[in-house]
Amino acid sequence: MNTRLNHIQNWPELARQANWSAAALAKKCDVSVRTLHRHFLKQMGKNTKTWLAEQRQRHAHELLCDGSSIKETAFCLGYKQPTNFTRKYKDYWGICPSLKPPTVNPAKTANVRK
């Protein structure tokens, strides 16, 4: 396994910098997408795309809890349309982002799924 990937500690920040793209994240890490995928399966128990989508939704939750509007949050997360963000948020969290965001225990966030 690529030891370079084992030394990375700031995965959530790298995910944001890569705009939640597996290809961009692999490029930032100077590895292939496939190598990154294998690393995520082994170290995090899920594929890169799933992990990135979860990180994106966690960041969305943080922004909404901090008072950002749906439109601001969607733009910050790279969605072209707020409606696309709203649909993904509802699929993940089970409620519309216009409602009060759910209280999240970081230890339980991994269990929150569609």
Distances (CA, A) of 108 to 16, 23, 54: 21, 28, 12
Contact 109, 58 (CB under 8 A): yes
CA 76/CA 70 separation, integer angstroms: 10
Token pair of 32 as six digits: 């292939």
The answer to whether the pTM exceeds 0.95 is no
CATH class of 3-111: mainly alpha
Q: State which H helix or E strand residue 60 sits in.
A: helix 48-65
pLDDT of residue 101: 61
Model pLDDT for residues 62-101, shown as the tens digit of each residue? 999 999 999 999 999 999 999 999 999 999 999 999 886 6
Q: Evaluate if residue 106 carries a pLDDT over 80.
A: no
Q: What is the pLDDT of residues 26-53, one digit of tens each?
A: 999 999 999 999 999 999 999 999 999 9
Mean pLDDT score across all residues of the chain: 87
